[in-house]
Amino acid sequence: MHLPIRTVTPESESAAIIGWVHEIRDLGGLMFFLIRDRTGIIQVTIPKKKVPAEVLDAARDVSRESVVRVRGRVKAIDKAPGGREIVPDGLEIISLAGSPLPLDVAEKVPAEMDTRIDSRFLDARKPRVRAIFCIRSAVTCAATEFLHSRGCINITTPKIVAAATEGGTELFPIAYFEKEAFMNQSPQLYKQMMMAAGFEKVFEIGPIFRAEEHNTIRHLNEATSLDVEVSFADHNDVMELLEDLIVYVYESVAGTCGDDLAELGISLSIPGKPFPRIRYEEAIEIANRTIEDKLSFGDDLTPAAERAIGSGIGQHYFIVDWPTDIRPYYAMPYPDRPELCKAFDMMHPRMELSSGAQRVHDHDLLVERIRAKGLAPEAFEFYLKAFRYGMPPHAGWGLGIERLVMTMLDLGNIREAVLFPRDRHRLTP
Ligand code: AMO
């Protein structure tokens, strides 16, 4: 039986480990190997004159990033990682790696993002990269835990669909037998239909597909969204739920991912509640004080405006009360001021993380709103039907998981937070 490398201590008398050859140094009479598994790195020291011939042969034949099994005596040694080393009685090559390697896992030679993604399996062997994905796993796990504790039901909705939810231009059409279909932009219509089903509180963590042409550091063509929908709730209720979730997730990551955060050199500060609420009209006023291209009522916020507002606030915040014209048809207009709606964005100082709203739950108003957006209600018949037989008032939001991880870990590019990114130019691996 082999041990996880982290658990090998100077007190262990002997140990067997399996891992990848991280580094090889040959100093003549002595050879040093660093062996790595997902739990850590250990030094293997080979005094050439003292080890069995088979060990020496394998040590000479092995290449970096090969998988090896090592058996031997554990010794305390100050200078080695973890203060211990193994002097092997056995060294077996399990899988020999080809050379040269497409990229340097030990990170002595830096690689461009494209080179890294082309060989993502190698890139993800880097402790730093693995740490990001361990934290991402902890993020979705904590979010799931939190939403279950609030009584939400985890649902799964179709990703092959017949209608756009967020607007017609960002759709990926696909051939679906003799019909035209699309990759789903958002679980929006389906999570709302589950309100008509009486599920009351639902969530889903799943892929969303956006045919956005632009290639940026914060857009993907396939992203992961955490979607929530709650009945008998308004926009204020679900904003509270969202800030509670963000704080819970940060606390959980800070509490359970200490080693991974240390690997990334990050000390996580927990966002304070409540997040400030800023009205859209205030937000454009703040932005206009510093940005060059001034915004007027009805303009969407530009990245420069988001940065201008975010740098002043310096923490997570909400922008509320958006112009109805620039939000989707399903956002509920204020009855006394219908040019504004009960929609919000939740922002990190660097970028938008989530959008949401109280929804239109009245069938006739919804039809009117769909028409006002220049869309045909007939295309939404399956959705509208759910509004005719008892639809409760409801509200919800969608939160981008990659952006959450990116901002939490201060990553420069959203592609750092997804294993196999899909962008304007990339369909493999
Ligand atoms: P929206 O389109 O704003 O809202 O998406 C919600 C959140 O999902 C993330 N996101 C993306 N992340 C990376 N690349 C993309 N191309 C991308 N598109 C979206 C963002 C964004 O804030 N149906 C509504 C949600 C709702 O009202 O419940 C919706 O999809 O973090």
Question: pLDDT tens across 347-376, in order?
Answer: 999 999 999 999 999 999 999 999 999 999
Ligand 1: does its nearest atom lie under 6 Å from the Cβ of 330? no
**Quick one: CA dihedral 277, 279, 285, 290, positive or negative?**
positive
Q: At what angle do helices 235-256 and 401-408 cross, to 10 degrees?
A: 50
Position in ligand 1 atom list of the atom nearest CA 397: 28
Q: Of the residues 170, 200, 212, 251, which is catalytic?
A: 212
What topology is assigned to 5-95 in CATH?
OB fold (Dihydrolipoamide Acetyltransferase, E2P) (2.40.50)
- Give the pLDDT band (50/70/90) at residue 1: confident
Ligand 1: does its nearest atom lie under 6 Å from the Cβ of 222? no
- Alpha-carbon dihedral 322, 294, 277, 190, rounded to 10 degrees: 40
Ligand 1: does its nearest atom lie under 6 Å from the Cβ of 170? no
Instruction: Give me the amino acid identity at 33.
Output: F
CA of 4 to the centre of ligand 1 (A): 39
- CA distance readout (Å), 220 to 103, 208, 407, 419: 24, 10, 15, 12
| Residue recorded with tokens 């294993």 | 419
CA of 156 to the centre of ligand 1 (A): 17
What tens digit of pLDDT does each residue of 288-342 get?
999 999 999 999 999 999 999 999 999 999 999 999 999 999 999 999 999 999 9
In the chain, which residues fall in CATH 3.30.930.10? 122-276+315-417
Predicted pLDDT at 168: 63
Please calculate the CA angle 274-276-277 and round it to the nearest 5 degrees: 115
Sheet harboring 160-161: ordered strands across? 160-161, 179-183, 173-176
**Residue 414 in contact with residue 426, Cβ under 8 Å?**
no
Predicted pLDDT at 167: 64
CA of 354 to the centre of ligand 1 (A): 6
Q: At what angle do helices 401-408 and 127-149 cross, to 10 degrees?
A: 120
Q: Of the residues 92, 119, 352, 363, which is catalytic?
A: 352
Q: Prior bond to 100 cis, omega within 30?
A: yes
Ligand 1: does its nearest atom lie under 6 Å from the Cβ of 353? yes
In the chain, which residues fall in CATH 2.40.50.140? 5-95
pLDDT > 90 in the chain, percent: 95
Q: At what angle do helices 280-288 and 303-313 cross, to 10 degrees?
A: 90
Ligand 1: does its nearest atom lie under 6 Å from the Cβ of 347? no
- Does the pTM surpass 0.85? The reply is yes
- Give the pLDDT band (50/70/90) at residue 33: very high
What tens digit of pLDDT does each residue of 136-152 get?
999 999 999 999 999 99
Q: What is the CATH number of domain 122-276+315-417?
A: 3.30.930.10
Predicted pLDDT at 163: 75
According to DSSP, residue 140 is labeled: H
Q: Of the residues 6, 71, 130, 219, which is catalytic?
A: 219
